Amino acid sequence: MNKIHKKYTMTVLALLMAGLLAGCDEAKNPTPITTEVPISKESSTELEEHATDEKPSMTESSATEEPTETSAPYNPVADGYPALKADGRSWGLAYRETGLQPWGNETSKNLAEYNAYYVGAANENVIYLTFDCGYENGNTDAILTALKTHDVKATFFVTGHFLETESELAKRMVEEGHTVGNHSYNHPDITKLDEAAFKEELNSVKKKFNEVTGAEISMYFRPPEGICYSQTLKWSKDMGYATVLWSLAYVDWYTDNQPMPEDAIATLTKRIHPGALVLLHNTSQTNAEILDQLITKWEEMGYTIKPLSDLVG
């Protein structure tokens, strides 16, 4: 490996280790489970091996080249820590300079083969706002109110537990024109499921949502903890779902250690980028407190929040 490739690989992987995030929320137990991403010792070792043994599939000149495609295929991180690896991977990101789309640990091009998405067009100041709803702890009402104030339509990914315990909130989401997607019934590690069990998780949410709201759930799926691989992506695609990952998130899921509102706003404005697919958690008190101000700041930065259907169709 030449010096430029080696140096660049080490830099990218260092960014990935610093920026790796995955969605977390609770399926049935209102005590939050430790889900998102801290990289395990095993995966950290693997990343170190990639940094020394593998080089990105790019030329020296492409190291600083910016993407020109609407959802740029250029992505060196995916070579070192691919999400589609056979044994499954949590979705991870390496954030770049403000205003640039982050690298995910798989390319948009490869994800598209499975009807999966993590970012929109690189040349449009558009945001797609999504929330993971594993359970309710008193913040969703304020989130919905802030969205209504700005006439913004978001997407809520719900679990079976949320639908069982918060039917009125689910109905309100529908009544106020939001999209509701599937986050699995029990929030399992889907890489441990066979095909039948995987389909049961999704079908149970679909059935319960219809029972609770009288509406049909939108055919969008967010894997619990962002864990996915080629087989589960194929199964969800075969069921008619688009898998929806994300290109912007932050540590908002520890209910007993919430970020300060000013820090959260600083992070979410610094990391915003064209085509951002934003993941927030409904369990975050900080998110409920800042959402009105955050949307205003994004709008002042020239961004428009559009429904997920504009990206996925």
pLDDT digits (tens, 9 = 90+) for 56-83: 222 222 223 333 344 444 576 776 667 7
**b (16+ CB within 10 A) / e for 137-151:** eebbebbbebbeeee
Closest to 13 in 3D by CA, of 74, 57, 77: 77
Closest to 224 in 3D by CA, of 182, 251, 187: 187
Q: Which one of 5, 183, 187, 281 is the catalytic residue?
A: 281
C-alpha 117: how far from its chain's center?
9
Q: Which one of 132, 161, 183, 187 is the catalytic residue?
A: 132
Confidence at residue 266, expressed as pLDDT on a 0 to 100 scale: 98
Share of the chain above pLDDT 70, in %: 73
pLDDT digits (tens, 9 = 90+) for 9-40: 444 444 444 444 444 444 433 333 223 332 22
pLDDT digits (tens, 9 = 90+) for 244-275: 999 999 999 999 999 999 999 999 999 999 99
Please give the sequence-ordered ranges of beta strands (E in DSSP) within the chain, or none if there are none: 89-90, 93-94, 103-104, 116-117, 126-133, 155-158, 179-182, 220-221, 227-228, 242-244, 276-281, 304-305
Domain regions of the chain by residue span: 3-312
Place of tokens 């690896």: 85
pLDDT digits (tens, 9 = 90+) for 85-141: 766 678 999 999 999 999 998 999 999 999 999 999 999 999 999 999 999 999 999
Please give the Cα distance from 166 to 180 (Å, whole number). 13
Phi, psi of 103 (to 5 degrees): -85, 135
Share of the chain above pLDDT 90, in %: 68
Q: How many residues does the chain have?
A: 313
Residue 187 reports pLDDT greater than 80:
yes
C-alpha 184: how far from its chain's center?
15
Superfamily designation of domain 3-312: Glycoside hydrolase/deacetylase (3.20.20.370)
Which whole number is the average pLDDT over 191-211? 97
Q: Which residue has the higher pLDDT, 67 or 160?
A: 160
Q: DSSP letter at 86?
A: T
Annotation says 281 is catalytic? yes
